[in-house]
Amino acid sequence: MSSYISLHNVKPDIILSSSALRAQMTADQLAEKIEYKGRIHYMEELYMTRPKTLLNIMTLQDNQYDKLFLVGHNPEVTEFANLLIEEHFTKLPTLAILAITLDIDNWEDIEENRGEIDFFIHPKQFKYYLPKQIRTTWDSK
């Protein structure tokens, strides 16, 4: 999944991650793979929290950041995504990446249904076809 992001040159300005060990490991590996040099913010508030709380956390982010990566847990992340966009996901798959573009000027302006899906990828999409760049990375794990 990180290879896809790296190949498409998607880079965050900030990464927020749940403080749970598995989420931290995912955030760390993602950051390494995409050569993210910033600090990863591990937050207990991202573990088993309500979507409205996630929304509040987003509104508190510094406006110097344009792209934010959130590493969290289901079902909360799925519910949060459904809060931001009009489309509805039953459950985001493990390691899925959902990129949402928000029509806002400041993080504090986030409201429900203000987002549009930029892209959505998940591991099973690459089960049978892996571009050479991704396959090479995938096989090394």
Which domains are seen in the chain, by residue range? 2-139 (3.40.50.1240)
What is the reported pLDDT for 130? Answer: 55
| Regions of the chain where pLDDT drops below 70 | 127-141
Burial status of residue 84 (CB atoms within 10 A of its CB: 0-12, 13-18, 19 or more): buried
What is the reported pLDDT for 131? Answer: 58
Phi, psi of 121 (to 5 degrees): -130, 155
HSE-up of 76 (CA within 13 Å, CB side)?
Answer: 16
Nearest to 126 by CA among 113, 137, 112: 137
What is the reported pLDDT for 126? Answer: 74
What is the reported pLDDT for 8? Answer: 84
HSE-up of 83 (CA within 13 Å, CB side)?
Answer: 16
Helix ranges, 8-92 (H): 21-33, 51-59, 76-84
Place of tokens 């899906």: 117
DSSP state of 107: G
What is the reported pLDDT for 4? Answer: 84
Measured CA to CA, the distance from residue 79 to residue 48 in angstroms comes to: 12
